Each structure stands twice: as C-alpha cells, then as structure tokens.
Amino acid sequence: MNLEDLAEEDRPIAIEEELQKIREMRNQKLLESDLYVMKKYENGETIGDDIRIYRQKLRDITTDFENPFDVVWPVDPVSGD
C-alpha cells in the first residue's frame, strides 16, 4: 500500500493498523528466536552476534522505517527466512 493513495483523513488509521500487524509479526519472530536462544543457553552455548543483531533489528522495526508500509524484515540467521 502507498500512503499517497489514501485520503489524508484515512492515513492515521491505516498507519496504526499496519503498525499493529508489524508488532504482531515482530513479536512472533522474537518468540521463535527466543526458543533458539534458550536452547543455546541450556546447552551452555553462546549466541552469535548475528542473532543478537537480528533480534535488535526486530525490536527496532517500528521505529526504523518512517513509513510502516516500507518495512523490510531482517533475515533470520537461523532459518534464513
């Protein structure tokens, strides 16, 4: 979706709806990576910088993009998704 295609009065609602979708997806991706991190710690292993950076990018996703319709998701270093 392109914000310019929306009427000015519809933009705040569309933005908030998109941000909510982004938050839900981000939370799911963080939960999935939590399982990976917990398994590593349980096995006495450390996690690499790649997973730390990935998780930080997920946490910052709602503020890193001016337009929520332009969000580019970071690639999960474990699954490649």
pLDDT greater than 80 at residue 2:
no
The mean pLDDT value of the chain amounts to 91
Percent of the chain scoring above 90 in pLDDT = 73
* For range 11-39, the mean pLDDT: 94
pLDDT greater than 90 at residue 44:
yes
> Residue ranges of the domains in the chain?
3-70
How many of the other CB atoms lie within 10 Å of CB of 72? 9
* For range 54-79, the mean pLDDT: 94
pLDDT greater than 80 at residue 4:
no
pLDDT bin (cut points 50, 70, 90) of residue 5 is confident
